[in-house]
Chains A and B, each alone.
Chain A
Amino acid sequence: MWTWFHKLASPPHAYRAAGVLKPWFEWPALLVIAAAAYGGLVLAPPDYQQGDGFRILYVHAPSAWMSMFVYVSMAIAAAVGLIWRMKLAHAFAASCAPVGASFTFLALVTGAVWGKPMWGTWWVWDARLTSELILLFLYLGYMALRASFDDPQRADRASAVLAIVGVINVPIIHYSVVWWNTLHQGATVTKLDTPSIDLAMLVPLLAMIVGFMLFFAAVMCDRVRAEILRRERSASWLSEVG
């Protein structure tokens, strides 16, 4: 039953598997994102308050969602690596961090761009924006810790502990920031979570999230392959891969 799991842990097998899987993620990602972009930018009706300005939502919300999703995946992979001493899980976690940080950064930038016409400023200390910013700091801390060790195995395990501590903290940070925010300022002008979102707006959004997930999977295939190459550069099986 567990053979697939053990097989996955072997670098040559994982290297080949990621290579085979990559096009299966890459092309659907491209198609889904293109379709969702068409749905969101052309087919969806303009918002009754924000006009066409809301359409940046189709990049902003999926990036924000991915920034959390990638952090959790990273922490799970780190825990697997720490508990079962699975090197490949560590390679996966290491590859996650820059991708997750990029999604977080994208969410912040699109949030600022959205905020400028809607709130009148590039930045407000909104709960979501602030907790997203702290998440970016967590990613940066994780990458900094990983980079500060010379020995890759110690880097793997130390950063795994940090990722697990961080993932316990993410909800705490999020809710404390929400709570801090609601006491500090009144209701913000426009919020995403209006009770009813039009179906024509929602479907492209969900499709876009699926597209972003597929894109993430495709990117990870490449990144994990690169990480395996870097770690196994002296291994003999590499000469057979060619």
Chain B
Amino acid sequence: MAVGIARLAVLVIERDLRLAVRRWDQVLQPLVFFLIVTTLFPLATDPDMSQLRRIAPGVVWVAAMLSSLLALESLFRPDVEDGTMEQWTLSGQPLAWLLLAKTAAHWLLSGLPLVVISPLVAAALGLESSAWKVLILSLLIGTIALSMIGAIGAALTVGVRRGNVLLALLVLPLAMPVLIFGARAVDLASHGESAVGPLNLLAALAMISVTLGPFAMAAAMRISVES
């Protein structure tokens, strides 16, 4: 039965969301990790609020990046292990599109919750409430790029046993521009300046990674599942 391409994406996203609801603890884990990492910084540096406020944009963004990295591990692995991914590559449907839908579902489950709880962390680190809007916006755009870049790495390493550290090694250097622009946008906003420039560049990165990323993912996935 022929299925339209939009319907296909909806099916994939629906399936992943349903699976996530049944294993909701796995969705929560990266979030808890995000909170724990941000707790580390006041403990390791200086609990003085004026100090924390200065490093808050960087702390939130580094924590978000590490947390999205942690979530990537479970992005493709279950589907590759139970053979679903092999069926997808043989299905005749565009694999890049399927993986894009899957990564979108992943973003809904790992990126979006981060965006939602980020004001909580920002408040705890003493970030001015006037900068929250930019923080939310920068994370909203930035986590899309992080998910897409990370998914390429996940597709490459899914065939490797114990690929977690390798995944970090591959993805973190590639994701550094996202961190630079994201943290810079929040930093500018916290000083009461316009953050339009870095936000635009962040959006450009998200756009490039959404358009080109799926093809790299598909190429990597074909290599990973065939053996």
Contact = CB atoms under 8 A, between A and B. Distances in A.
Contacts of A169: 174, 177
A158 B177 CA distance: 23
Interface string B161-184: 001001001101110110011001
A117 B212 CA distance: 44
By secondary structure, the B interface counts as helix
Contacts of B208: 172
A167 B174 CA distance: 10
A188 to B, nearest CB: 18
Nearest to B169: A141
A140 interface: yes
By secondary structure, the A interface counts as helix
A137 B208 CA distance: 22
B157 interface: yes
A130 to B, nearest CB: 9
Contacts of B224: 154, 158
A169 B180 CA distance: 14
A137 B223 contact: no
A177 B170 contact: no
A137 B166 contact: no
B216 A161 contact: yes
B223 A144 contact: no
17 contacts: A134-B173, A134-B176, A144-B166, A145-B156, A145-B160, A145-B170, A148-B166, A149-B159, A157-B223, A161-B152, A161-B156, A161-B219, A164-B216, A169-B177, A176-B180, A176-B181, A180-B180
Interface of B: 152, 156-157, 159-160, 163, 166, 169-170, 172-174, 176-177, 180-181, 184, 201, 205, 208, 212, 216, 219-220, 223-224, 227
A-B pairs, top 5 by smallest CB distance, nearest first, are A176-B177, A137-B173, A141-B170, A180-B180, A157-B223
